[in-house]
Amino acid sequence: MTSRSYEQLREDFPVFEYSGYDFSIEEHDIQMQFHFATGEYEFHPKMKLSLGKYAISTLCEENINGIIFQIGMIELISYWKCTCSPTLLIRSYKLDEAMQKWWKKLYFNGLGEFFYQNKIQTSEEEFLHFEFSEACPAASILTYPHISDSSRVVVPIGGGKDSVVTLEALRKECQVIPFIINPRGATLDCARIAGFPNEEDIVILQREIAPQLLELNKQGFLNGHTPFSAMLSFYSLLVSYGTNTRDVALSNESSANEPTIPGTKINHQYSKTLEYEEDFRYYVKTFLNDSNHYYSYLRPYTELQIAEMFAKHPQYFPVFKSCNAGSKENKWCCNCSKCLFAYIILSPFIDNDTMVSIFGEDLLDKPEMEQYFDELRGVAPNKPFECVGTIDEVNKALEMIRESRRDKYLISKLVN
């Protein structure tokens, strides 16, 4: 495979098109397909949102059209990034200047890790500009009906400790509607233990990546991290409207605000930050509908506080998973920074034998993890490009377990 350069791809593919989208309502399911293209390549990813027993009886295409157009704008990032075309042509609706500015900020900051990893030097002003078909109506017409029900809350479940803490806290206060994207073992098991044993008890999004994009990745087109949580925020609008539920409670903690590359704005977790959360609320209020309330329940808490809260729910120990590398097999891979971070942050509150039973091995006694250990505690130049806590939180956790785990290989590396 020969990698294609950023400059060459922009020259070869000067225009990327958001050609349009189709959608339909089938009972309580919303089927969507988006149409993107550049040069000789076309992408037609399909999505299916199943609202199940939570669907309102007045679902209609007119009311969800605007939301689905916005979802297409966020799905587009995954496809545009393969060529980084300098012009983005949108054929359905025209964004006004304020909307264009908002989307450019999200694309630029949400792709900060992607630009860094691919050694791309650019600026928010230069990397992209929008064009629109002459006949495009203004996107400002895309609103949706008022959402009134604040007696319940949509809670996205990711299968890790954070969404478990949010689930357990909120289900004691109000009716929870669990929301899962591409269900897997850990997400379904956490939902089951929380009191949602069947798939019909859960709002489920089946999200597809177009095969053509995967093929271009193999051919050396640009690839890298995209802002997943921003995508989640726009799908949450559709869930919010489709269930007439005003509140959507994320599980993003305060540590998401810390940059991955110190001294920069490059952050693996950009779309989990308070800055993005506030930007999203501004976008919905200004351009769509002021009735949706999107927030993070865990924002006031540190990773250590969340770990301590999670440790009070041992029924989840056998099933929760936070490892991306092992997600397809529903396991902890025990060879990545995400696994090591989870092991460190939970160890002050869960005894060593139980930690080993959760993960299958003692990650603090594993020399192969030393590089990740140094990245997590701030000895290496950068933090890992993963959803992990702050350097201060990691070091505080290590101090808390230093005496009780002093015989472990990694702990022995701490300098007095």
Please write the tens of the pLDDT for every residue from 108-125. Answer: 999 999 999 999 999 999
Nearest to 293 by CA among 223, 372, 254, 236: 236
Q: Which helix (H) or strand (E) holds 294?
A: strand 293-296
Q: Looking at the structure, tell me whether residues 32 and 136 fall in a common domain.
A: yes
C-alpha distances in Å from residue 299, one per residue of 54, 106, 162, 253, 401 = 27, 20, 11, 4, 25
Q: Looking at the structure, tell me whether residues 409 and 268 fall in a common domain.
A: no
User: How confident is residue 415, by pLDDT bands cut at 50, 70 and 90?
Assistant: low
Boundary of a domain, candidates 272, 296, 320: 296
Q: Looking at the structure, tell me whether residues 269 and 372 fall in a common domain.
A: no
The residue range of the domain holding 380 is 331-413
**How many domains does the structure of the chain reveal?**
2
Q: Looking at the structure, tell me whether residues 138 and 236 fall in a common domain.
A: yes
The Cα–Cα gap between 249 and 170 comes to 9
Which tokens sit at 89?
């042509």
C-alpha distances in Å from residue 265, one per residue of 28, 258, 269 = 41, 9, 11
Q: Looking at the structure, tell me whether residues 82 and 38 fall in a common domain.
A: yes
Q: Looking at the structure, tell me whether residues 113 and 259 fall in a common domain.
A: yes
Q: Looking at the structure, tell me whether residues 287 and 399 fall in a common domain.
A: no
Q: Is residue 311 part of a domain?
A: no
For 163-189, give the DSSP string.
Answer: HHHHHHHHTTTSEEEEEEES--HHHHH
Boundary of a domain, candidates 296, 320, 353: 296
Q: Looking at the structure, tell me whether residues 266 and 124 fall in a common domain.
A: yes
Q: Looking at the structure, tell me whether residues 219 and 336 fall in a common domain.
A: no
Helix-then-strand count for the chain, H and E: 14, 11
Q: Is residue 368 part of a domain?
A: yes
pLDDT tens sequence across 173-209:
999 999 999 999 999 999 999 999 988 899 999 999 9
Q: Looking at the structure, tell me whether residues 73 and 214 fall in a common domain.
A: yes
Q: Is 182 exposed, middle or buried (0-12, 13-18, 19+ CB in 10 A)?
A: exposed
Q: Is residue 26 part of a domain?
A: yes
The Cα–Cα gap between 18 and 130 comes to 11
**Which amino acid makes up residue 76?**
L
User: How confident is residue 148, by pLDDT bands cut at 50, 70 and 90?
Assistant: confident
The pLDDT assigned to 2 comes to 60
Mean pLDDT of 29-46: 97
Longest dimension (CA), the chain: 70
Which of 14-28, 247-261, 334-348 has the weakest average pLDDT?
Answer: 247-261
DSSP 3-state of 391: helix
Q: Is residue 302 part of a domain?
A: no
Boundary of a domain, candidates 252, 273, 296: 296
Q: Looking at the structure, tell me whether residues 235 and 384 fall in a common domain.
A: no
The pLDDT assigned to 347 comes to 97
Q: Looking at the structure, tell me whether residues 285 and 337 fall in a common domain.
A: no
Q: Is residue 92 part of a domain?
A: yes
Which tokens sit at 267?
């952050």
